Amino acid sequence: MGVPKFYRWLSERYPLINQPGATVFPVMDNLYLDMNGIIHNCTHGNREDVSLSEEEMVEAIFRYLDKIMHIMRPQKLLFMAVDGVAPRAKMNQQRSRRFKTAKEAEAARLEAEKAGGAPDKQRERFDSNCITPGTSFMARLSAHVKFFIRKRMAEDPVWRRPTIVFSGHDVPGEGEHKIMEYIRWMKRDPGYLPNTRHCLYGLDADLIMLALVSHEPHFCLLREVVSYVGGGRGQPSRDIFENPCQEHFVILHIGLLRDYLELEFSSGTALPFAFELERVIDDLILFCMLVGNDFLPPLPTLDIAEGSLDKLFELYKALLPEMGGYVSHGGHLHRGRLELLLSRLAASEAADLASRARDA
């Protein structure tokens, strides 16, 4: 569900939502780990020349988990979620991506052989397609992680304090959605405390949206520091995963982002209806989907790099009094209000395409 460039755009629009790791992190009740990001980065990362044995990969994952645990020190819950079998739409996307990965790996191997390089049988390049629910690698890794959890609980008081839940690859659903489902399940408990402090680890931009639509006031995201210098893709360096420390992380405060949104959208023109921040957040997430995500193509003239989200936000603020209400409610769309917004957006479409053609 990720929107390309969304985190960078959000950080530039609301820079104070990011708290650098050199400061004191807040105490959290619940810590949720989207494990697949850790597994991918500790096994192969974003460097093609890195080749580790399975034992080295597992040890790297353990070190990283232990470091995150000691940085955040959750008081009540640690929830670790590995991607299980995904829904059909995501499965189709994963299938095409994994075929592409295998084809590129084979092409790289043939190219190396043509250049005279002999393959190293002892240290073959790791096939990231192994990080798939149901593979023997994931079965072994799950067994290792369960052993590691039991060992740390027996030896380390930081691990002994919270309740630990491990949702492995054999539990259906993507890790981030299993986490959100667990949060919704907790909120249905009559004894749930509304001031519970949540922290979710992961680099995916869609985690920001999932945290917002949880409508929890005390929520933050733990992310690695990324660099966009020199046109980089915004990926953390491999050094972070090899030698993790608190300075390599940043906390994104969803609660502060909610305050920014409330200030921005409630201080304009007086509304003929009651202002509801939660409804505004739902509408803004819908507009982010119009810019495109993993499953929906974007509208042709909408691109975050061209300021489309800024344009959508300003248009929404201007039209909100005229619409007489919010665009979405309880997962359902008010088609008349959405049509009004899209018609105003379409009015500038020809000019946007002409401008894009001139710049090409």
Taking only the tens place, the pLDDT of each residue in 34-66 is 999 999 888 876 555 567 888 999 999 999 999
Averaged pLDDT, 112-141: 77
Taking only the tens place, the pLDDT of each residue in 255-265 is: 999 999 999 99
Q: Is 118 a residue whose pLDDT tops 70? A: no
> 156, 139 in Cβ contact below 8 A?
no
Averaged pLDDT, 280-296: 85
Averaged pLDDT, 100-111: 74
3-state helix, strand, coil in the chain (%, to 5): 55, 10, 35
Average pLDDT, the chain: 86
DSSP E strand stretches across 88-176: 163-167
DSSP 311-353: HHHHHHHHHHHHHTS-SEETTEE-HHHHHHHHHHHHTTHHHHH
Q: What pTM value is reported for the model? A: 0.87
**Cα 282 to Cα 291: distance, rounded to the nearest angstrom:** 15
Which has more pLDDT, 89 or 83? Answer: 83
Of all residues in the chain, the percent with pLDDT exceeding 90 is 55
Query: Tell me, what's the pLDDT at 221?
Result: 96
**Cα 157 to Cα 145: distance, rounded to the nearest angstrom:** 18
* Right CATH for 6-259 from 3.40.50.620, 3.40.50.10490, 3.40.50.12390, 3.40.1190.20: 3.40.50.12390
Query: Tell me, what's the pLDDT at 122?
Result: 45
Taking only the tens place, the pLDDT of each residue in 142-178 is: 999 999 999 999 999 999 999 999 999 999 999 999 9
Query: Tell me, what's the pLDDT at 312?
Result: 92
- Residue 281 pLDDT grade (very low, low, confident, very high; cuts 50, 70, 90): very high
- Residue 94 pLDDT grade (very low, low, confident, very high; cuts 50, 70, 90): low
Domain ranges of the chain: 6-259, 270-359
Strand-pair partners of 199? 31, 220
Tell me, what amino acid is at 136? S
Query: Tell me, what's the pLDDT at 236?
Result: 62
Neighbours of 108 (CB within 10 A): 12
**Cα 251 to Cα 120: distance, rounded to the nearest angstrom:** 41
Query: Tell me, what's the pLDDT at 46?
Result: 57
Query: Which of these ranges, 99-103, 130-134, 339-343, has the smallest mean pLDDT?
Result: 99-103
Averaged pLDDT, 72-95: 86
Query: Tell me, what's the pLDDT at 119?
Result: 56
Taking only the tens place, the pLDDT of each residue in 225-256 is: 876 554 455 566 555 656 667 788 999 999 99
